[in-house]
Structure 1
């Protein structure tokens, strides 16, 4: 599996990064005192395109929250090649498995473009949990947000029509607005369980309808609502 987290690129200041995470995703649902403690203990990190955040099988580590840029999360069952399946939003967090299960990384996180992340080290998570055992409940909620996203991905992949699967992939990234989504047709095909030829044909039809605009190695989503309606129609 692979999740891509995307947002417009810019130089991020610490206060702006914290505001993004306070207003989006898992951390936005937590009490203010918990938010402040997580951010106080976290480190703002910048990654170059292609840089590995953490790899499959790596030793225990903390959690990362997406501030801006695009990162892919790749995973698969044992003895299978990791695959990309989803595009997430600012405020998405990953890496909670080390804290919850005390096992090595089961996914790979890699920057697709220049990316800013907030990193909360595992030892800081442990200190918070030692001071207040209920903190484990807060961190456990991260996995539930990721499960919810995975349920939608599975539902979308069960559609018979490849055009609707492709539309679902693009619609899930519609929150980025009219900014290029830096995914190739092959990557979109992997996410949609479709061939490159099917993706190429679908994108041409979507472009003719005014729903997307295509360019080299990227797609710009112009009408996410139309993609949503089309993707949810009966096959």
Structure 2
């Protein structure tokens, strides 16, 4: 459905200052937003699954999404939780391949959707616009590489600290609560729950993070950065 006026204003304000679209020129931003349609997803609702045909591009305006990848044993590995400002769906679309990941609404989610037909029309009208979409693929690859580096980090405390810093970077303002459970965080870190809980306790006792019910936050970012770099 077309974006209502208030939703248009709110979405434009958010996505013009956060994420991939914010780094593009104003003309391109307006072109994308003019084509966007509002979609809402309930908690745990699938946005798309691995193996699906690509239908378009999604930009998260409100809420949080979980991104999972399949493993060789047939299970899904929860790679990351992502918040407003994320755009996803470009890789399969422009390669004419099927989806490589499953994206699920972790909370109630509002997203802008730009169809595959509209995106291809933008590039047909101005072939140089492929650079704008390729910039998104580059940005999402940078996120993926940082996640891989994090999982490969030895030491549970350092691995946890680096992941919390990464998620803190993705927030509008550093130090906000990260709203996910310890079970989810343990999955993302490929770590057992007891190991994670011990690491959380050590970092909290050191005054670098604060742990609440199904949430946590970085409270001394500089110290945590120094600790992870040691």
User: Separation in 1 of the partners of 2:97 and 2:205?
Assistant: 48
Q: 1:145 aligns with which of 115, 136, 139?
A: 139
Partner of 1:3: none
Separation in 2, partners of 1:137, 1:160: 37
Q: Does 1:37 align with 2:31?
A: yes
**Aligned counterpart, 2:211:** 214
* Contact 2:67/2:104 (8 A) holds in 1: yes
Partner of residue 200 from structure 1, selected from 179, 192, 197: 197
Structure number with the bigger relative contact order (C-alpha 8 A, sep ≥ 6) is 1
Which stretches in structure 2 are left out of the alignment for 5+ residues?
1-5
Residues 83-232 of structure 1 mapped to structure 2, 5 A cutoff: 83-175=77-169, 176=171, 177-232=174-229
> What are structure 1's unaligned runs of at least 5 residues?
1-11
Which residue of structure 1 lines up, in the alignment, with residue 46 of structure 2?
Answer: 52
- Report what 2:70 is aligned to: 76
Q: How much does 1:210 deviate?
A: 2.5
* Cα contact 1:58–1:104 (8 A) shared by 2: yes
Give 1:65 deviation, angstroms. Answer: 1.1
Contact 1:170 1:227 in 2 (8 A): no
Cα 1:76–1:232 change in 2 (3 A) is: farther
Point out the more displaced range, 220-229 or 188-197. Answer: 220-229
TM-score (norm: length of structure 2): 0.88
CA contact (8 A) 2:63 2:83 kept: no
Rounded Cα–Cα distance in structure 1 between residues aligned with 2:196 and 2:137: 31
CA contact (8 A) 1:99 1:125 kept: no
Give the 4+ runs in structure 1 shifted more than 4 A. Answer: none
Structure-1 separation of matches of 2:225 and 2:108: 29
CA distance in 2, matches of 1:31, 1:186: 40
In the TM superposition, residue 35 of structure 1 has moved relative to its aligned partner by: 0.7
CA deviation after TM superposition for structure 1 residue 89, in Å = 4.9
